[in-house]
Amino acid sequence: MLELRPNCECCDKDLPPDSEEAVICSFECTFCVTCAEHTLGGVCPNCGGNFVPRPIRPAALLAANPPSTRRVLKEQGCG
């Protein structure tokens, strides 16, 4: 099941489960659209893959399938 990480790994922007600003790679690395497009040029710095919009989990399913609370942030930054 998709982890639904709570933040952008570059800028630490909050990305709630219903965010249309979240994008992921095939390894679920999570970034905001702004960082993915402008800072990273559409390429994941962790795996070299591309990004797709993160699916939105319907609110009715969040109680039984909660999003992750573990924040991931690149210590060395993304710039």
**In this predicted model, what pLDDT tens digit does every residue of 37-71 receive, in sequence order?**
999 999 999 999 999 999 999 999 999 999 999 99
pTM: 0.92
Burial tier of 9 (Cβ tally within 10 Å: 0-12, 13-18, 19+): buried
DSSP structural state of residue 65: S
Does the domain at residues 1-70 carry the CATH identifier 3.30.70? Answer: no
Is the separation of the CB atoms in 30 and 22 below 8 Å?
yes
Q: Mean pLDDT throughout 1-5?
A: 93
